[in-house]
Structure 1
């Protein structure tokens, strides 16, 4: 049977397609065979040679050096910052912080910066008393022996020395021993005796003039040395003592009588309401006037003060 003329070309075309397809599969087979061979070769290579293959992404080159004079400089190493953990401080052991008695005796405070602790006011705030300074000052105390000793006692605690001019030697002679444990910090002398003590910023001097009822209160004379304070103790207020009350830098009073309160208000230029308040002070209270108005102070005596001075008492 004769094959139709159109069948051969169709078979030839189909055969050519098969040949082309076979030719197209041969490179793919060659590539797959090459990849398999390469992968097998890569698996057979030792680890160092496999790691030596180039990276797919090249590393970024370093930045160019800054423009300069052409001198070669060593690269600056960057400091290594580390977070430091803070540890808690160990507790203090009181038994390990000791000082010999002679060195401890040299440690002292002065009242020129913080003031003498006089007590606390009605709100509980501390009330300091500026007793000593480079300029000599005068303080008048309208009160009794207990209040005078309290002021001297606290002045000694701030490093001051005291010279007491009094006719009541027996009432003052043990104060220095009670307050400091020494006998050279307080000198008790008869009225009119020379002081014989030099005052300084490290050791200010408190001169106490303890007047009796008939003694005259003279204002502090001019030309007194610095770092010296004169404490004038008056148990009673008389007309002859009003000039000293008026000229005093600081006035301290215990409870006053109505006549004394009126005289003090007039001499110091205080408010009228203070005339009534000065008559109502308790035995452990003091009124303080340093030129800026009256402050009413609770002295709050401590245990050592109570043992040395006794209970607070009136004038």
Structure 2
């Protein structure tokens, strides 16, 4: 069975049996990330009965991996990017919208420049996923308003900026620059958890290593 902890937008803890049934509807299982530091599988509620804003700070392949997993959950994917070709691996996988209601993911490519997308879609079960490779002081406000932030290891200056934007203590700022290899930080309302990304063979073939920046 799936169990939840904390707020209504908390991380979902699943059993290993649940992890094997990866194609459950998104509204039931959330988006699987991988195991935590104790080896317990973790997913996040990427789609809710309310508009949702998720910020991803890290590599392009990290964002592609999340988009690919959203497709696996049956979401309809739209992409807004100044360089559409770098998302070909996802656009080749997505199908046409079906007749039945589906969760929607708008992936906003801010990898190189431009402000973080701060205004999610107004429809229920719709999620905006904003992608940034690096953050700037101007990103502090939209970061603070995001429902969920997923972070790969940051340089010291960015780690401090991120912690301040998310109203986290200084001790957490230093941890953002020393995230264990293969892990990402999952931040929601001052709660921080480290989760190991576990790409499948198919994901590695299509996308590559989510921790490589080139």
Instruction: Tell me the TM-score range normalised by the shorter chain.
Output: 0.7 to 0.9
The equivalent residue for 2:116 is: 217
The equivalent residue for 1:263 is: 161
CA contact (8 A) 2:159 2:173 kept: yes
How far does residue 272 in structure 1 lie from its aligned partner after superposition? 2.6
Alpha-carbon separation, structure 2, partners of 1:260 and 1:227:
31
Greater fraction of residues in strand: 2
Alpha-carbon separation, structure 1, partners of 2:99 and 2:57:
25
Counterpart check, 1:230 vs 2:128: yes
Aligned-partner SS, 1:174: helix
Compute the TM-score of the two structures, normalised by the length of structure 2: 0.81
Aligned-partner SS, 1:138: strand
Alpha-carbon separation, structure 2, partners of 1:151 and 1:161:
13
The equivalent residue for 1:140 is: 55
CA contact (8 A) 1:138 1:250 kept: yes
Aligned-partner SS, 1:295: strand
CA distance 1:281–1:235, change in 2 (3 Å):
same
Greater fraction of residues in helix: 1
Aligned-partner SS, 1:294: strand
How far does residue 161 in structure 1 lie from its aligned partner after superposition? 1.2
Aligned-partner SS, 2:198: coil
The equivalent residue for 2:95 is: 184
Alpha-carbon separation, structure 2, partners of 1:238 and 1:284:
24
Out of 197, 204, 208, the position equivalent to 1:299 is 197
CA contact (8 A) 2:148 2:188 kept: yes
CA contact (8 A) 1:159 1:204 kept: yes
Out of 56, 66, 88, the position equivalent to 1:151 is 66
How far does residue 312 in structure 1 lie from its aligned partner after superposition? 2.9
The equivalent residue for 1:123 is: 38
CA contact (8 A) 1:261 1:276 kept: yes
The equivalent residue for 2:107 is: 208
CA contact (8 A) 1:208 1:231 kept: yes
CA contact (8 A) 1:153 1:175 kept: yes
Alpha-carbon separation, structure 2, partners of 1:273 and 1:199:
49
Q: 1:1-315 to 2 correspondence within 5 Å?
A: 109-177=24-92, 180=93, 183-185=94-96, 202-220=101-119, 224-282=122-180, 284-315=182-213
Aligned residues: 191
Structure 1 portions without partners, runs of 5+: 1-107, 186-196
The equivalent residue for 2:13 is: none
How far does residue 271 in structure 1 lie from its aligned partner after superposition? 3.0
CA contact (8 A) 2:108 2:117 kept: no
CA distance 1:119–1:276, change in 2 (3 Å):
same
Alpha-carbon separation, structure 1, partners of 2:117 and 2:98:
22
How far does residue 283 in structure 1 lie from its aligned partner after superposition? 5.4
How far does residue 212 in structure 1 lie from its aligned partner after superposition? 4.0
Alpha-carbon separation, structure 1, partners of 2:113 and 2:202:
33
Aligned-partner SS, 2:61: helix
